[in-house]
Amino acid sequence: MGAVERNGYRFEPEFSVIHQNGAIHVYEKGKFIEEIKFVFNGEFPEHDQIEEIIDQYIEKK
C-alpha cells in the first residue's frame, strides 16, 4: 500500500515482515508530524487495518 492523502494529511505506511510491526508516518504540508506504530500478523498488514488506523487518527484531530 502506498501513501494515502486525506484531510490535508499524508500517511506513509512502512512495515517489517520479520518483526511483524509497522508504522505510519504522518505529514502535513510536507512536514513530518508523528509516527503511529502498529503490529500485524501474516506476510503484510491488511489494507483495512491501515485504513482503520488512519480513520481513527483523523477522528482524533
Band of pLDDT at residue 3, cut at 50, 70 and 90: very high
Residue 61 has pLDDT above 90, yes or no: no
Residue 12 pLDDT grade (very low, low, confident, very high; cuts 50, 70, 90): very high
Q: Compute the distance between CA of residue 38 and CA of residue 51 in angstroms, rounded to an integer.
A: 12
Q: What is the pTM of this model?
A: 0.90
Mean pLDDT taken over the chain: 95
Q: From residue 21, how far is each of 1, 13, 60 by CA, in Å?
A: 15, 11, 22
pLDDT digits (tens, 9 = 90+) for 16-26: 999 999 999 99
C-beta separation of 5 from 26 below 8 A = no
